[in-house]
């Protein structure tokens, strides 16, 4: 049986705070340079593409703050030339399939990858922080505040590992208090 990691209420609160440096969205992208970029979220991916910063890997779910993207935004994303993948990752979880796909993508460096997530893509930032190659940059949106840029460093990997260890291995309805 595949293992699933469940977000706890305390961890949900913790993850509302930025895990890296918070910028106005466009400003974050100006400091990227030539480092590999992973985007998490539809708007983060669109902003990167609009600013000429093509992601190495992009995780999207067709939504912005749980609302479907506008048709114009969907079309804009649809023009991006990248190898397409699909992933099922239910809301509030990190599936074993998500971990496997992330690790596989990190080994495929010669092409661009677009992962369309059925469920929730936000938490995929954590396996990226933990296992993406050092010096990779991660960009994701912080609702109503801007964009967050996280550099994959040894310290960031340790931080992500600690956060991942706080996930529950038991579904919410089966946890003991």
Distance CA 155, CA 132 (A): 13
38, 132 Cβ separation under 8 angstroms: yes
Residues found in the chain: 177
Q: How many CB atoms lie within 10 A of CB 5?
A: 21
* Predicted confidence (pLDDT) per residue in 2-56, tens digit: 578 999 999 999 999 999 999 886 677 777 888 999 999 999 999 999 888 999 9
Backbone angles phi, psi at 116, to 5 degrees: -95, 120
Predicted structure pTM score: 0.92
Distance CA 58, CA 116 (A): 8
Q: Read off the pLDDT band of 1 (50, 70, 90).
A: very low
Q: Where are the domains of the chain?
A: 21-170
Q: What are the contacts of 78-81 at 24+ separation with CB within 8 A? A: 80/45, 80/49, 80/54, 80/112, 80/114, 81/112
DSSP letters of 124-135? Answer: GHHHHHHHSPTT
Higher pLDDT, residue 172 or 89: 89
- Quick one: tokens of 47? 């902003």
User: Poorest-confidence range of 38-52, 63-77, 87-101, 146-160?
Assistant: 63-77
pLDDT at 121 over 90: yes
């Amino acid at each position: 049986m595949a293992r699933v990691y469940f977000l706890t209420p305390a961890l949900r609160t913790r993850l509302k705070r930025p895990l890296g440096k918070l910028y106005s969205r466009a400003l974050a992208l100006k400091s990227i340079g030539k480092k590999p970029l992973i985007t998490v979220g539809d708007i983060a991916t669109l902003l990167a593409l609009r600013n000429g910063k093509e992601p190495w890997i992009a995780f999207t779910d067709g939504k912005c703050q749980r609302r479907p993207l506008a048709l114009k935004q969907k079309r804009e994303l649809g023009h991006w030339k990248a190898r397409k993948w699909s992933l099922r990752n239910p809301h509030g979880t990190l599936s074993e399939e998500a971990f496997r796909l992330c690790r596989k993508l990190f080994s495929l460096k010669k092409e661009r990858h677009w992962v369309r997530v059925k469920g929730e893509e936000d938490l995929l930032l954590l396996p990226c922080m933990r296992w993406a190659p050092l010096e990779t940059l991660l960009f994701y949106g912080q609702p109503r505040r801007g964009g967050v840029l996280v550099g994959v460093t040894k310290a960031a990997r340790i931080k992500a590992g600690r956060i991942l260890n706080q996930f529950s291995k038991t579904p919410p309805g089966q946890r003991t208090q």
